[in-house]
Amino acid sequence: MLKRVKESQNTELVNRYNEYSKQMKSDVEMRKPKYYRNKITLNMNNPKEMWKTVNEFSGRENEGSRNGIERIVVHGREIADERKLASQFNEFLTGVGKILAQTIKQPLREHDQQSK
């Protein structure tokens, strides 16, 4: 489509294309945080997929990549220090286990007594 717009040399068409393109990029950027939050939540039971998602949104494509997350906002505070970022991710990811543990139902006592 971009090729057709450029070839047409119609300035009105080019301007409209540029406006739509800019709006689309803005919409995508605005929706990314919710998308990744949902994706992490859905993968809470699958550490491999959850880390894949974390690496995806951090821009980390492979082990050697250094262009990760530069800052996050936690409870309205912006965190940019690398150690504090790592600590916040660690806190979040270790909290996932506690949340999952709370969702596991305890076995009935009667059943435990009968199996002995």
69: Cβ–Cβ under 8 A, 6 or more apart, which residues? 57, 58, 59, 85
Q: pLDDT band at 114, cuts 50/70/90?
A: low
Domain presence at residue 70: no
Domain presence at residue 12: yes
Q: What is the pTM of this model?
A: 0.43
Q: What is 58-75 written as a DSSP string?
A: HT--STT-------EEET
The string of pLDDT tens digits covering residues 59-94 is 766 555 455 678 888 889 999 888 888 888 888 888
Q: What is the H or E stretch that residue 19 is in?
A: helix 11-42
The DSSP call for residue 80 is -
Residue 2 has pLDDT above 80, yes or no: no
The string of pLDDT tens digits covering residues 32-62 is 888 888 888 888 888 888 888 888 877 766 5
State the Rg of the chain over Cα. Answer: 23
Domain presence at residue 33: yes
Domain that holds residue 25: 2-61+81-114
Mean pLDDT of the 94-116 span = 71
Q: Domain tally for the chain?
A: 1
